[in-house]
Chain A
Amino acid sequence: MRGFYSRKIHSLLGVIPLGFFFLEHMLTNFSAVEGGASGFTDSVLWLNSLPLVFFLELFGIWLPLLYHGVYGLYIAYQSKPNLNRFNLERNWRYTLQRISGVITFIFIVWHLYDTRVQVALGNVKHEELGGVMHNIVTQPLMLTVYIIGVLAACFHFANGLWSFLISWGITVGPRSQRVSSVICLGLFVIVSFMFLFSLVTFRDNEFQATASAVQSLRSLI
C-alpha cells in the first residue's frame, strides 16, 4: 500500500508542479532570446515579485524536487536494465529515463548551487543572474556540461510525461500510446530547442555588463 501511494505521488509531482515549473523556467530563459539582457532581468524580477514567492518556491519546487529526486534515485536503483537481451525502443526509453533522471538530479543540484543558493547567500542579486549564466556558458567545458544536463532534463520531462499518461490510465491502448509517443517526442524537440537557444544566447556580450558588475563586486569583497 505504501509503495503504491509513494509511487503515485512521485509520478504526480513529476508533472504537477515540476513539469509546469520546467516549462515556466523554459519561458523565462527564452525571454533572454526575445528581450535580451533587460528582457531576461525583467522576467526574473517579475517572477520574484509574485506574492508569497518563498512558499511558491518551497511547495512548488524545492520539496517536490527533493521527493521526486530522492525517490527517483531509489526507482533507478531498483531497475535491472536488460538492453543486451531486449534491444527495443521502449526498453531504451525505460533505461534512458533512469539514466537521464540521475544526470538531471546531479545537474539540478549543481545548477541550484550556481544560481539560487548564491542568491540566498547574498553573493548574487536577481538582476545579476544573467551575468552569472554568461560567465558559466562562455567556458566551453561548462557549456558542454550544461548542454548535457539540459538535454537530460528535457528527455526526462518529455518521456516522463508519456509514462505518466500510462501510469494514471489515461493512454491505455497501443494506438494512444503510439500517438502520445509522437507528441512527447515533439515536445522533447521543442523544449530542448528553446532551452538550448536561450543557453547560447547567454553567451552574448550584452550579458557581459551584468557579469562584469558581479566580478567587480566579488573583487571588492
Chain B
Amino acid sequence: MAETAAAPKNVKFVITRQDEPDTAPYTEEFELAYRPGMNVISALMEIQRNPVNAKGDSTVPVCWESNCLEEVCGACSMVINGKPRQACAALIDNLEQPVRIEPMKTFPVVRDLVIDRSRMFGALKRVKAWIPIDGTYDLGPGPRMPEKKRQWAYELSKCMTCGVCLEACPNVNEKTNFIGPAAISQVRLFNAHPTGEMNADERLDALMEDGGIDGCGNSQNCVRACPKGIPLTTSIAEINKQTTKHMFKRWLGV
C-alpha cells in the first residue's frame, strides 16, 4: 500500500446548520482527514466523534438522520453540492470540494440536516397506498398477477419515501399543496395490483382532490433525481390517463 505513505489529504465541508425549527440557518465549515472510501455519512460520524470546526473551535456536533446505509431506507436525504440525494451513497471521491451539505428545505427543518418528512407519509394515507384485505375470516387467495406486470410493478415498489423527488420538483413549494410524484407513483402501483385494483377509484378520487395530480407541471426533474430510478413520469402520465377516464366515467355515471 504505497498510497498510504503519501501526504494526508484533507476534505473540506460547508454544512448548513440550524439550531431550532424556527431559527435562522447558518453555515459552518469543517475539515477532515481524507480516508479511502469515505462518504458523507462517515464524514458526519467523524464530526460527531470530534466536533471541531475548520477554525479549530469546538462546536456542537451536526445532527442528521440515517439508518440502513445502503440507499434503501430513505432517511438520509439531503442536498449535497446542490443535488438532493442519499448521503450514504454520496462518496467523497465522486464529489467536488468543498462538499456543500444542506437540509432539504422543501420539508420543515427540525435541526441541522434533520427534516420532517411527515407530509410524505400523510400523502400515502390520503391516497390509501395499501391493499385492504383485513377481515374477520380468511378471504382465500386473491387473483394472480401476471409476471410481466409484476416486473414493472416491482420497480415502483422500490420507493423509499425519501423525498428527493419532492425536493427536485419546482411545483412542490410553499405556494402550492401539490402532493408530489412519490404518492402518485404509489397509486399506480396499488392500482396495478389485482387485489388493489378493486379499490382503484378511491385512490383516483383522492388524487383528484385539492393538491392532487393537477399540480404536476411536467418539468420531469423527479424522474432524473430519483435515487431508485423509478419511472415517476410514466407513473404520473399513467395516473393522468386513469384520472381522466375516471372523470368521464363519473360524469356519465358508468
Identify the A interface with B (CB < 8 A): 1-4, 7-8, 75, 77-82, 84-86, 88, 90-91, 94-95, 97, 162-163, 166-174, 177
Contact = CB atoms under 8 A, between A and B. Distances in A.
B237 A169 contact: yes
Contact of B221 (A4, A77, A82, A170): A82
Contact of B168 (A81, A82, A163, A174): A82
B170 A169 contact: no
B218 A94 contact: yes
Nearest to B216: A167
B125 interface: no
Interface stretch (B23-31, B45-53, B207-215): B207-215
19 contacts: A1-B208, A1-B209, A3-B211, A4-B247, A79-B217, A82-B221, A85-B83, A85-B168, A86-B225, A94-B217, A166-B218, A167-B218, A168-B241, A169-B242, A171-B237, A173-B237, A174-B231, A174-B233, A177-B237
Given A86-B224, A171-B237, A79 B212 contact: no
Given A7-B214, A172-B234, A94 B175 contact: no
A167 B184 CA distance: 13
Instruction: Tell me which of B168, B176, B211, B240 has the highest count of chain A C-beta atoms within 10 A of its own C-beta.
Output: B240
B239 to A, nearest CB: 8
Interface in B189-235: 208-221, 224-225, 231, 233-234
B218 A163 contact: yes
Nearest to B212: A4
Contacts of B242: 169
A174 B244 CA distance: 19
Nearest to B205: A1
Given A8-B247, A177-B233, A91 B221 contact: yes
Main secondary structure of the interface of A (DSSP, over half): helix
A163 B175 CA distance: 22
B170 A82 contact: yes
A78 B176 contact: yes
Interface of B: 82-83, 168, 170-171, 173, 175-176, 208-221, 224-225, 231, 233-234, 236-245, 247
Nearest to A82: B170
Contacts of A168: 240-241, 244
B211 A169 contact: no
A166 B212 contact: no
Contacts of A84: 82
A3 B170 contact: no
Contacts of B213: 4
A6 B180 CA distance: 19
Contact of B243 (A3, A4, A91): A4
Nearest to A175: B234
Contacts of B168: 82, 85-86
Contact of B238 (A1, A77, A162, A172): A172
The 5 closest A-B pairs by CB, nearest first: A169-B241, A94-B219, A7-B214, A90-B220, A169-B240
A186 B243 CA distance: 30
A78 to B, nearest CB: 5
A80 B237 CA distance: 22
Contacts of A174: 231, 233-234
A153 to B, nearest CB: 19
A77 B234 CA distance: 26
Contacts of B231: 174
